[in-house]
Amino acid sequence: MSFFKKISCLLVIFLVFVNLIDDETIASNGETTLKEAIDIGFQRAKEWNVNATLTRVNSVDETMGGSRGGTGKRFNWFMFFVVPGTDEYVLIGISEKKITVFRPGKQSQDATIPYDEIKLDSSDVLLLAKDKYGLKQGEDWATGYHFTLDSIDGMPILTVFGNDRDSRFTRISFNAQNGDVVSAIHKLPYGGGLISKRNGTDNLTKKGMAITGVVAGNYNLVVWGDKKPTQFSTTKQPFIEWNQNNGETWTELQANNYVTHAWFDRNDQLYVATEKELWAGITSKSKGTKILSLDHMIENVDYSINNHIAVLSNGNIYYTTNQGESWELAIVPKPFYVVQISDNGVLVGLTEERKILQKTNDGWNELTMPNSIDIPDDMKVIKNRLFITTQSGIWIRDLQKGNWRKIKVDEVVVKFIKKGEKLFGYTHRGEAIYSINTKNERKPEKVFDATDSIVMDVDTMGDTLWIATIPNYSWEEMTIHNLSLDKK
């Protein structure tokens, strides 16, 4: 296995144990360097077995204040020790210089790291990484600086994680014996942007942006997302923009927070959902009227053709049949994955357990699939018809008459995208987008091969298909950053 592959397998180890230690507000003098943490752990490991030998060390993310790795120190560390020649190991956790986790177990042997081979400490490699590559503290995920020590290809490898100058996730690995750079790589974005597909020709605009949504009205087009995304965040520089000339020029709209959903009603009035609010009538000259404000995050939003609206938040459904003039409340009996509302104001939910529930005057009734082995992957309601995608095909239920029909598919659709009366579907891993006819039972038509794109949303205006995509990220080699150039 190559060095990159081996260290990639270890990339998230320093975060997976974060819940094992209680977070508290502690003074920064409780932080330790990697070697200081090893010294504490070694004493306990030798008590467990005199032959205990180190195999791996990693810092752990936390919200305890302190330097967050800025001095080469962290509050929390985890380390593994093994007994060579056996399958015995022990996991030891350190927090504020004290052992807080001690978990013996059995597993296959990992490569060991003799203590006398560790010549450099986390504080040493941090200075080297800053000097050679201008490494900055991590944000969004693995906050601050983080450190791991592993044995790779027989070498003790001390790695520091952070961000490069453009806030891209970075890891720089050193030989812990002599300080030589073994690897310096960062995650670079590729792809992302708004694709317009017309007459077999694809055109990309807003290149490199994370376009998380697109919606077409009768004459207007709106997109939203993040202008400066990172691998772990698409809310760094959120935006929503309006277009009235087939994507040629754009006008930025006002929004109080990053946008999560947007749609047009039949009169081309724009509705926008943000983190906890719902707005109506947003234009290039007005931020519109707030029609709903909640204390908790909006998890899911749906709207019918005649603009009944349903909002899922914190185990409750808020719904309106008069465009937000007044709202009613429905309690969710089980955690919902999706909520939908019909033209008749009927609420339908898909639970996290993949059960379909329909609200009645007496509560919620479960809708039984015609084939008992079919499990819903996703569902949408258009007018008064319920569309359900399963591994065997797409089922349609008339919510008034209660009868079922089925559409055959060439590929399994795992997720729906609803745009008014239009319905689209993703295949596995979003590799293809299909248009699903909602007026008859014709087979879905493939409209886009997405093998090189991460598709987030799609809509049509006239004969143009608009596709919202976000960047993907790949590890690329870094060049040594010349700090002297920044000082000139």
Which pLDDT score is estimated for 481? Answer: 58
449 token code pair: 């091969």
Q: Which of 54, 53, 61 is nearest to 95 (CA)?
A: 61
Which domains does the chain show, CATH number per domain?
3-186 (no CATH), 190-474 (2.130.10.10)
How confident is the model at residue 18, as a pLDDT?
A: 38
Joined tokens for residue 343: 């033209």
Per residue of the chain (488 residues), give pLDDT as tens: 444 444 444 444 444 443 333 333 333 589 999 999 999 999 999 999 999 999 999 999 888 888 999 999 999 999 999 999 999 999 999 999 999 999 999 988 889 999 999 999 999 999 999 999 999 999 877 789 999 999 999 999 999 999 998 888 999 999 999 999 999 999 998 999 999 999 889 999 999 999 999 999 998 999 999 998 988 888 889 999 999 988 889 999 988 789 999 999 999 999 999 999 999 999 988 889 999 999 999 999 999 999 999 999 999 999 999 999 999 999 999 999 999 999 999 999 999 999 999 999 889 999 999 988 999 999 999 999 999 999 999 999 999 999 999 998 999 999 999 999 999 999 987 889 999 999 887 899 999 998 788 999 999 999 999 999 999 999 999 987 544 444 43
pLDDT value at residue 142: 79
- 107 secondary structure, DSSP code: -
Q: Are the C-beta atoms of residues 77 and 17 closer than 8 Å to each other? A: no
Burial (CB count within 10 angstroms: exposed 0-12, middle 13-18, buried 19+), residue 183: middle
Instruction: Determine the Cα–Cα distance for residues 211 and 136; give it in Å rounded to an integer.
Output: 27
Task: Give CA–CA dist 243/308, Å, rounded.
Answer: 25
Q: Collapsing DSSP states into helix, strand and coil, what is residue 460?
A: strand
Alpha helix locations (H) across 241-340? none
CA quadruple 46, 49, 51, 54: dihedral positive or negative? negative
